Amino acid sequence: MPIDPPARLLMGPGPVNADPRVLRAMSAQLVGQFDPFMTATMNETMELYRGVFRTRNEATLLVDGTSRAGIEAAIVSLVAPGDRVLVPIFGRFGHLLAEIARRAGADVHTREIEWGGVFSVGAIERAIVEVRPALLAIVHGDTSTTVAQPLDELGAICERHGVLFYTDVTASLGGNPFELDAWGVDAATAGLQKCLGGPSGSAPISLSPAAVERIEARKSVEAGIRADGDAVLDEPIRSNYLDLGMILDYWGERRLNHHTEATTMLYGARECARLLLEEGMHVAIERHRLHGSAMLAGVEALGLDVFGDRAHRMHNVVGVHIPDGVDGERVRRALLEDFAIEIGTSFGPLHGRIWRIGTMGVNARRDAVLTTLAALEQVLRAEGHPLTADSGVGAARDVYSETAA
């Protein structure tokens, strides 16, 4: 039988439904790897993602693989074994950055705070002074906790201390403000399946000239000897597939064959960027803010407690405490079976304690928010949870009518 997935409304922390325009783009025919149309499309996609990341970085491209491939490519290419890496951890994905850096042979130093909060700028600068890392690796929006770490002041601090600054913006890009150049970020990686409205499987990445210089320097390291004859402490990038030096040579002028670019994902990633830029980055971010606020107002009006630091909430996902006496998994199952709506649970210390409800990509829209709130109200009522009729939908509608006014 040909594939025929059920119709679902994906209102979890990602993946979310792909925009139909992205799916159509992904059904386009293939061309050869070095066909002029292919290389022109690669160049065009690089330019589109400069707009999405808000950067002039020449080295803005796609890594083939899910967001994690982008994270791993950045870390394994920027970090040589023995390099000190500082990872401030405020959720699940911070642990992932630390783990990847450890596997790359780095000397990893972590700082941790309780899930739901963010680091102060001062705490990060103190840690930089203590650790003196070669690289700061930090998540922007961590969907596991639904909060976004402020990054706007970290670039200047990193520059002052001679530290490269990498951030994972997979969950935040397109739905929350992110300014790669203005914030002094050296490397940022993303994915398509959150606010970009595409499927997972392509990881947009952007590298500053300083990051490219670091990668180029490692390229000349061969057989343990530097050009000047000194023994090297450095060693070649410990991955072939994720070697950004080689990937840059493939996407750059030289077009040196590395992998075969995943053409269908390129078409999809290109359309994701086109959608965002056509709408306007600021407009798309404001749309995520509006629908996120409506969802937040709705769940609060249902009498549910919201998780995490309010002042640093991501626009595109809200964490909700599962009320005492309510079986969180049974609610999720009823939403899926009776309403075809998916919401998320969480990980680690939050597993079974919070639901995560997303409003992102093509699902950051009014009918998706209102339908989800109406369904959640029905399911909670069936679970015997006391509710005022229509409260969630009503509160969300109030947010919309205030905005229209």
Half-sphere exposure of 237 (CA within 13 A, CB side): 23
Provide the strand spans (E) within 37-81: 59-64
Q: Which is nearer to ligand PLP, 204 or 392 (CB)?
A: 204
CB burial of 12-21 (b: ≥16 within 10 Å; e: otherwise) equals bbbbbbbbeb
Q: Which of 72, 83, 125, 142 binds ligand PLP (CB under 6 A)?
A: 142
Distance CA 3, CA 284 (A): 32
Yes or no: say if 261 and 38 are a contact pair by the CB < 8 Å rule.
yes
Q: Which of 171, 180, 304, 376 binds ligand PLP (CB under 6 A)?
A: 171
Q: Which of 17, 57, 149, 200 binds ligand PLP (CB under 6 A)?
A: 200
Q: Does 19 bind ligand PLP (CB under 6 A)?
A: no
Yes or no: say if 77 and 245 are a contact pair by the CB < 8 Å rule.
yes
φ, ψ at 14 (rounded to 5°)? 105, 140
Q: Does 93 bind ligand PLP (CB under 6 A)?
A: yes
State in angstroms the smallest separation of the CB of 316 from ligand PLP: 10
φ, ψ at 73 (rounded to 5°)? -60, -45
Q: Does 68 bind ligand PLP (CB under 6 A)?
A: yes
Q: Which is nearer to ligand PLP, 77 or 143 (CB)?
A: 143
Q: Which is nearer to ligand PLP, 167 or 395 (CB)?
A: 167
Tell whether 356 is in a known binding site. Answer: yes
Q: Give kind and range of the element (H or E) at residue 370.
A: helix 366-382
State in angstroms the smallest separation of the CB of 326 from ligand PLP: 25
- Taking each helix axis as running N to C, give the angle between helix 263-279 and helix 36-53, from 0 to 180 degrees, rounded to the nearest 10: 40
Choose one: 35-43, 164-172, 260-268, 320-328; the region binding ligand PLP (CB under 6 A). 164-172
Choose one: 135-143, 146-154, 274-282, 373-381; the region binding ligand PLP (CB under 6 A). 135-143
Alpha helix ranges (H) inside 79-120: 92-103
State in angstroms the smallest separation of the CB of 259 from ligand PLP: 17
Yes or no: say if 288 and 365 are a contact pair by the CB < 8 Å rule.
no
Q: Which of 168, 186, 243, 271 binds ligand PLP (CB under 6 A)?
A: 168
Distance CA 81, CA 98 (A): 14
Q: Which of 12, 88, 174, 191 binds ligand PLP (CB under 6 A)?
A: 191
Distance CA 316, CA 141 (A): 10
State in angstroms the smallest separation of the CB of 239 from ligand PLP: 16
State in angstroms the smallest separation of the CB of 256 from ligand PLP: 26
Yes or no: say if 301 and 285 are a contact pair by the CB < 8 Å rule.
no
Binding-site residue positions for substrate: 356
Please give the annotated binding residues, written as ranges: 356
* Binding positions for ligand PLP, rule: CB under 6 A: 14, 66-68, 93, 139, 142-143, 168, 170-171, 191, 200
